[in-house]
Chain A
């Protein structure tokens, strides 16, 4: 697995902004599981991510992460197609911070604003992602690998080695 450069300020701003977030895991039987993210924090050194999720719809993925520590997270900005995927093998479920419910609510509004600019109504997104604050969980992992997935010739290229 390719090593991954730390997330710089610009990338940090992107992945913490109103961007589509999805996660995948793998069950012991080899069947993948998946869930949508509802917010993201980047560690100050840029080497770890904490992704917020709504626990109930992510139950199977959370089970896999507890068991294997492996996770994949993709971020994609609909307006630009900018897409990046990070992988971790030490993922664990960590306690949420006090401002995480607000962070998740802000995320949904920022993402809705991004989509509104493209003509998509926001109520569907809010219905999909707005969660009861008690149901928010966080997964933290250090970046084991990162890839560009923006459509085009560079799709699949690693984000670079350790800095």
Chain B
């Protein structure tokens, strides 16, 4: 029976390095160990090209090569006959391999030495199993298809984004033992992603941001491709990435508005999968583990499938979120408590909001809260519909990729975590209620000349 590449993906996790045999035009053989062999599809693998070697010289002259792979669990030994096709130096495959190689390099003390110059794509012409003894196959941890079905079932009754994301993260914990996970959604204005849901972290990190292209999450978003690393790599550690990015853009002085990202202190494995639907990037699902090589190709398949359902549902909910608007506009029913007023400051420059001395939120979510607080102060209004917020000229919502509901979740969670006496809550389909439990003093700080932004 022909051996399928899918059946031997365990050999491609890099536990036991593969080796490649090539021959020059005059028939001189060469053999080299490989840092990385990447599954591309049922008929192709990609090998890491890190420097100009005899292997590379040979395959450019004679494209036929042999690859030896060993199953790290059963010791089954395979030889693949390959034909070199081309080298990719950018794009999803390249970025995925670059991230993985950074993890491998860091794990093996080769950070700074291993550097991906290209992904060499080979067609797999044949796979043979080398005669020899093998160990019994490892016991399956679970039936991934059944577990995926359970996750899928858990999501189908979710009627709002917050429920959907919370259920998705809970289902990953229950059915896949993935205890640390988060969802980020893109902010089209800032070219960043912000955390909208998380599970299994000391602090939720809701509202924290990561720029596109930074860390596994930012690269997964930019490339719209899953990024999976099995060992810690400082190059892809996002806590550092955002700080570096801010300093590089001269915004280091604004770090007081930074919300720490959720994340494991001793993270070893990360898998970030883009959530796409209708040709748009709607978010990134990222899972983490403190164990090396915690996620394999099967986990990647599962998360990509689940992200498909998440994306389709997110898109559907986004379109239906406004719902039929109720005509009645609520008024403040409860008198706000007295006492010292809470000073709420709004900085026009970036729509950041501070409750007292504490940073709350910025950007679109900040402008939404400010509009509601102003209306509340002016007329005592407490109920707002998604539709009117979407059309409100004071709220600078990007026309494309607008995800109002994600921003409202973010705002609600941030207010809840601050517990400063200002909350928002759902008030039926497509509507939210502002709950102000103490008197407020609103201060608008107009835009100032550049670099004069301060907290006081």
Contact = CB atoms under 8 A, between A and B. Distances in A.
The majority secondary structure among interface residues of chain B is: loop
A140 interface: no
Given A22-B68, A24-B30, A156-B54, A33 B21 contact: yes
Best-buried of B22, B81, B134 by chain A (most CB within 10 Å): B22
B75 A72 contact: no
Contacts, number: 122
Given A32-B22, A36-B68, A57 B29 contact: no
Interface stretch (A7-15, A41-49, A94-102, A121-129): A121-129
B79 interface: yes
Contact of A26 (B16, B28, B52, B114): B28
B29 A24 contact: yes
A40 B57 CA distance: 28
A108 to B, nearest CB: 12
B68 A127 contact: no
Interface in B123-172: 130-135
Interface of B: 15-17, 19, 21-23, 27-33, 35, 50-54, 62, 64-66, 68, 70, 72-75, 77, 79, 81, 108-110, 113-114, 130-135
A89 B135 CA distance: 37
A73 B29 CA distance: 9
Interface in A85-137: 85, 87, 89, 120, 123-125, 127-128, 130
A124 B75 contact: yes
Contacts of B113: 151-152
Contacts of B79: 34
A54 B113 CA distance: 34
Contacts of B32: 74, 85, 149
Best-buried of A26, A56, A70, A125 by chain B (most CB within 10 Å): A26
A156 B53 contact: yes
B131 A31 contact: no
A81 interface: yes
Interface residues of A, number: 43
A50 interface: no
A159 to B, nearest CB: 14
Best-buried of B52, B54, B130 by chain A (most CB within 10 Å): B130
Contacts of B53: 149, 155-156
Contacts of B31: 22-24, 32, 34, 72-74, 85
25 contacts: A20-B33, A24-B21, A24-B66, A26-B23, A26-B27, A30-B27, A30-B64, A31-B81, A32-B21, A32-B31, A70-B27, A70-B28, A72-B28, A72-B29, A72-B31, A74-B33, A85-B30, A87-B29, A124-B73, A124-B135, A127-B133, A127-B135, A147-B54, A151-B113, A151-B114
Contacts of A26: 23, 27-29
B29 A70 contact: yes
Given A32-B31, A81-B110, 5 more contacts: A24-B22, A34-B21, A85-B32, A123-B135, A149-B33
A73 B66 CA distance: 15
Contacts of B19: 22, 34, 74
A76 interface: yes
Interface in A54-74: 54, 56-57, 64, 68, 70-74
Contacts of A16: none
A1 B29 CA distance: 12
B319 to A, nearest CB: 50
B66 A124 contact: no
A68 B75 contact: no
Given A57-B77, A156-B54, A72 B30 contact: yes
A127 B74 CA distance: 8
A49 B20 CA distance: 21
A121 to B, nearest CB: 9
Given A123-B135, A151-B110, A31 B66 contact: yes
A35 B126 CA distance: 17
Nearest to A85: B31
Given A33-B21, A83-B33, A156-B54, A127 B134 contact: yes
Contacts of A64: 29
Contacts of A147: 54
Interface string A147-163: 10101100110000000
B33 A71 contact: no
B108 A81 contact: yes
B209 to A, nearest CB: 36
Given A70-B28, A85-B31, A123-B135, A33 B68 contact: no
Contacts of B28: 1, 26, 70, 72, 87, 89
A97 B113 CA distance: 41
B28 to A, nearest CB: 6
Best-buried of B17, B19, B21 by chain A (most CB within 10 Å): B21
